[in-house]
């Protein structure tokens, strides 16, 4: 009976939360990104930038003069995205590099290749993600949601921190933007079973990974502030957006999504607006950065997100899992 409820409860909670978000979006206007200044000379890495929200983030940054590197698993998708953006903006500096966040080796190789070029790094957008994928393990033995949505991005950020610190300065702090979800509100961190080995639920695993992102983002920002480093870290909820993220939904819900997308779901460009705001806005310099953002505003979220002991425990456990001390 316990196993049954541990599977069913996250399903009910997630779909009720989704319904609430959709109704909110139905009766509210999406955030519109203000005009941003040129960003010439800046370098950004955007994971999962070949499609959906990530593509719109890359596209807008490239239009403003940012040199953008798309990190993604699907090479064909990434190269098509690069070609489309270059066709639209002839002077765009955008490129694709292979990055599989489910593989710690791939993350190390991506960072090593980037650092060999001796480029600065001003913006890191941790956007790539998976949702409700069937149960499976990565080559490193991690549960897929935890690996792709959280642990791979934790490692990527950790390995790039020195480069971000070196590029930050007064007037434009380097920025880490973690694309999360309102699903974190029903997530639970199981420190004794982060890889969901005892009782697997794709819904619970997804929500846990999104809460983990917020805990990491908040703790990282505090560590950077305490150290006096010119880098900020924030988390963003883009809302429910019409992207391929929902391809593993229950089939009737996929059909409903297709039918109601235009009415209820945000477009990828609308979903990208708050991500771009936190990554580029001059108004979010220094102490004005950090936090949890949705619809263009800093927002309060659930109490576990601000639990310093939970943040620290997850941080230390993640370092141990990655062999980083």
Residue 297, pLDDT > 80, answer yes
Quick one: which of 301, 36, 283, 245 has its CA closest to 127?
Answer: 245
pLDDT digits (tens, 9 = 90+) for 261-278: 666 789 999 999 999 999
What pLDDT is attached to residue 94?
99
The question of whether 200 is a catalytic residue gets the answer: no
What pLDDT is attached to residue 227?
96
pTM above 0.85, yes or no: yes
Cα 304 to Cα 113: distance, rounded to the nearest angstrom: 37
What pLDDT is attached to residue 108?
98
Q: Which token pair is 106?
A: 């791939």
List domains and CATH numbers for the chain: 40-322 (3.40.50.720)
What pLDDT is attached to residue 165?
97
Residue 111, pLDDT > 70, answer yes
Q: Specify whether the CB–CB gap between 160 and 45 falls below 8 A.
A: yes
pLDDT digits (tens, 9 = 90+) for 278-294: 999 999 987 778 899 99
Question: Which has the minimum average pLDDT: 33-47, 152-166, 244-258, 284-298?
Answer: 244-258
Q: Specify whether the CB–CB gap between 290 and 233 falls below 8 A.
A: yes
| Higher pLDDT, residue 201 or 236 | 236
Average pLDDT over residues 112-117: 98
Which one-letter DSSP state was computed for residue 94? E
Cα 21 to Cα 238: distance, rounded to the nearest angstrom: 11
Where are the extended beta strands (E) located within the chain?
Answer: 43-47, 67-72, 94-98, 123-126, 174-179, 231-237, 291-294, 297-298
pLDDT class of 17 with cuts at 50, 70, 90: confident
Average pLDDT over residues 304-318: 94
Residue 250, pLDDT > 80, answer no
Mean pLDDT taken over the chain: 90
What pLDDT is attached to residue 3?
52
Residue 68, pLDDT > 80, answer yes
What pLDDT is attached to residue 323?
94
Residue of 55, 150, 206, 246 with catalytic role: 206
CA 9 to chain centre: 25
What pLDDT is attached to residue 252?
60
pLDDT digits (tens, 9 = 90+) for 126-169: 999 998 888 889 999 999 999 999 999 999 999 999 999 999 98
DSSP 32-64: -PPPPPP-TT-EEEEETTTSHHHHHHHHHHHHT
Cα 105 to Cα 264: distance, rounded to the nearest angstrom: 39
What pLDDT is attached to residue 197?
64
SS (H, E, C) 202-248: HHHHHHHHHHHHHHHHHHHHHHHHHHCCCEEEEEEECCCECCHHHHH
Residue 101, pLDDT > 70, answer yes
Quick one: which of 3, 5, 10, 6 has its CA closest to 183?
Answer: 10
């Amino acid at each position: 009976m316990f196993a049954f409820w541990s599977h069913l409860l996250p399903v009910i909670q997630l779909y009720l939360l989704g319904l609430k978000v959709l109704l909110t979006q139905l009766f509210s206007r999406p955030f519109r990104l203000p005009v941003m200044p040129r960003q010439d000379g800046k370098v950004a890495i955007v994971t999962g930038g070949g499609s959906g929200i990530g593509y719109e983030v890359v596209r807008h940054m490239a239009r403003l003069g940012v040199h953008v590197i798309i990190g993604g698993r699907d090479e064909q998708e990434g190269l098509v995205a690069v070609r489309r953006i270059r066709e639209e903006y002839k002077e765009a500096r955008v490129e694709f590099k292979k990055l599989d966040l489910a593989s710690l080796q791939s993350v190390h190789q991506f960072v090593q290749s980037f650092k060999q070029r001796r480029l600065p790094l001003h913006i890191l957008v941790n956007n790539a993600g998976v949702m409700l994928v069937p149960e499976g393990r990565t080559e490193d033995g991690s549960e897929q949601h935890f690996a792709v949505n959280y642990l791979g991005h934790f490692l990527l950020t950790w390995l790039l921190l020195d480069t971000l610190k070196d590029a930050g300065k007064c007037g434009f702090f380097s920025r880490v933007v973690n694309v999360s979800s309102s699903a974190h509100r029903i997530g639970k961190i199981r420190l004794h079973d982060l890889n969901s080995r005892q009782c697997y639920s794709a819904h619970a695993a997804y929500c846990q990974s999104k809460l983990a992102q917020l805990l990491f983002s908040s703790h990282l920002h505090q560590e950077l502030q305490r150290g006096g480093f010119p880098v900020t870290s924030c988390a963003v909820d883009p809302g429910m957006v019409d992207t391929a993220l929902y391809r593993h939904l229950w089939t009737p819900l996929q059909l409903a999504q297709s039918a109601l997308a235009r009415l209820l779901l945000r477009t990828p460009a609308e979903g990208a607006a708050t991500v771009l705001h936190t990554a580029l806005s001059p108004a979010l310099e220094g102490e004005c950065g950090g936090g949890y953002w949705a619809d263009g505003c800093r927002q309060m979220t659930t109490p576990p997100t601000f639990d310093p002991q939970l943040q620290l425990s997850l941080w230390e456990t993640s370092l141990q899992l990655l062999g980083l001390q």
